[in-house]
């Protein structure tokens, strides 16, 4: 059995870099597939062993451009030129545009003059920049926990859980409760919808579920609903509520959850507008 060994030098790795960075296929895998294809066509039994020289700058290829951009903002223009030169043109362009125009011009000038750093200096630059990238990513990880994350998770919970945990949050941290309250939508917040949004919501709702949700609801919420219905429809809804008789809190909250879910969906699609006290929006 033939044993095929080959080495990839910096020049070849650089030429393959743009393709591999866009596809995610490692250089070794790409070359191995090529050799296997040639060998199989020649019907040669083989083993493929790929070795390669280190390709300076390749580590940057898998780095988030946004993170790399933040790190390079505080780096010298020569360092930026070296890093950008090691990237595919698409990613390099994204990073270049993140710099002020004056810096872009200077970096382009440095890159266009040719030359560059020695291998040892480039390795030191790569190590230094990657160290800063790791630090930057760690900062991002530490900021995963914030009020927006809490509000997003809270909004995805069922109505019963929300109603139980909110009072506890209010006791533990009034400030957190206040910030959450600004960001989440509860059934009682229907009064914050304008008439057009209420009417849009009503067209999406099942009358039985609406009747369950309004069972024992605040008069302000009920009035808001009735005002946006025809007199006949409002009368029929009132009769539906009376017809329900006694109903468990669980079923009422389940109906409220369905209505809240409809409103959230309509808000995400821009079909309804929620304006809380203290918020002002211009409409055209």
Model confidence pLDDT, tens digit, residues 2-13: 444 444 454 555
Q: Is the separation of the CB atoms in 257 and 155 below 8 Å?
A: no
Torsion of CA 201, 206, 210, 212, to 10 degrees: -160
Fold held by 185-268: Annexin V; domain 1 (1.10.220)
Q: Over the chain, what is the mean pLDDT?
A: 74
pLDDT classification of 129: cutoffs 50, 70, 90: confident
Q: Mean per-residue pLDDT for 112-125?
A: 66
The pLDDT value recorded for residue 120 is: 65
Query: How many residues make up the chain in this entry?
Result: 284
Separation of alpha carbons 251 and 268, rounded Å: 26
Q: Mean per-residue pLDDT for 121-125?
A: 67
The pLDDT value recorded for residue 247 is: 87
pLDDT classification of 212: cutoffs 50, 70, 90: very high
The pLDDT value recorded for residue 116 is: 61
Residue 146 has pLDDT above 70, yes or no: no
Separation of alpha carbons 20 and 61, rounded Å: 9
Fold held by 62-142: Annexin V; domain 1 (1.10.220)
The pLDDT value recorded for residue 115 is: 62
The least confident of 75-89, 212-226, 255-269 is 75-89
pLDDT classification of 93: cutoffs 50, 70, 90: confident
The pLDDT value recorded for residue 91 is: 82
The least confident of 64-68, 106-110, 118-122 is 118-122
The pLDDT value recorded for residue 108 is: 87
Q: Which residues pair with 147 in a beta bridge?
A: none
Residue 226 has pLDDT above 60, yes or no: yes
Separation of alpha carbons 213 and 170, rounded Å: 24
Residues of the chain with CATH 1.10.220.30: 185-268
| pLDDT digit string, tens, across residues 257-267 | 889 888 888 88
pLDDT exceeding 70 applies to what percent of the chain? 65
pLDDT exceeding 90 applies to what percent of the chain? 13
The pLDDT value recorded for residue 169 is: 85
Residue 16 has pLDDT above 60, yes or no: no
Separation of alpha carbons 231 and 138, rounded Å: 60
Measured N-to-C along each axis, helices 231-244 and 207-214 cross at an angle, to the nearest 10 degrees, of 70
The pLDDT value recorded for residue 224 is: 92
Q: Mean per-residue pLDDT for 69-86?
A: 82
Separation of alpha carbons 207 and 92, rounded Å: 57
């Amino acid at each position: 059995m033939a044993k095929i060994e080959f080495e990839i030098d910096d020049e070849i790795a650089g030429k393959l870099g743009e393709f591999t960075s866009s596809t995610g296929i490692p250089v070794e895998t790409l070359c191995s597939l090529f050799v296997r294809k040639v060998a199989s066509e020649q019907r040669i039994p083989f083993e493929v062993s790929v070795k390669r020289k280190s390709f300076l700058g390749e580590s940057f290829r898998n780095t988030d451009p946004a993170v790399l951009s933040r790190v390079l903002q505080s780096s010298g223009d020569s360092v930026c030129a070296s890093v950008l030169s090691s990237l595919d043109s698409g990613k390099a362009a994204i990073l270049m545009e993140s710099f002020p125009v004056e810096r872009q011009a200077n970096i382009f000038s440095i890159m266009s003059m040719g030359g560059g750093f020695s291998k040892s200096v480039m390795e030191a630059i790569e190590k230094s920049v990657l160290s800063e990238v790791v630090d930057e990513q760690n900062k991002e990880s530490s900021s995963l926990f914030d009020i927006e994350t809490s509000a997003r998770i809270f909004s995805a919970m069922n109505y019963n859980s929300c109603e139980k945990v909110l009072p506890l949050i209010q006791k533990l941290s009034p400030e957190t409760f206040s910030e959450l309250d600004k960001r989440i939508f509860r059934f009682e917040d229907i009064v914050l919808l304008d008439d057009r949004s209420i009417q849009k919501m009503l067209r999406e709702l099942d009358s039985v579920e609406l009747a369950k949700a309004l069972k024992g609801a605040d008069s302000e919420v009920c009035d808001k609903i009735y005002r946006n219905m025809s007199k006949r429809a409002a009368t029929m809804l009132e009769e539906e509520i009376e017809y329900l008789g006694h109903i468990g809190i669980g079923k009422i909250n389940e109906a409220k959850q369905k209505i809240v879910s409809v409103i959230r969906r309509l808000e995400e699609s821009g079909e309804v507008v929620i304006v809380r006290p203290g918020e002002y929006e211009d409409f055209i």
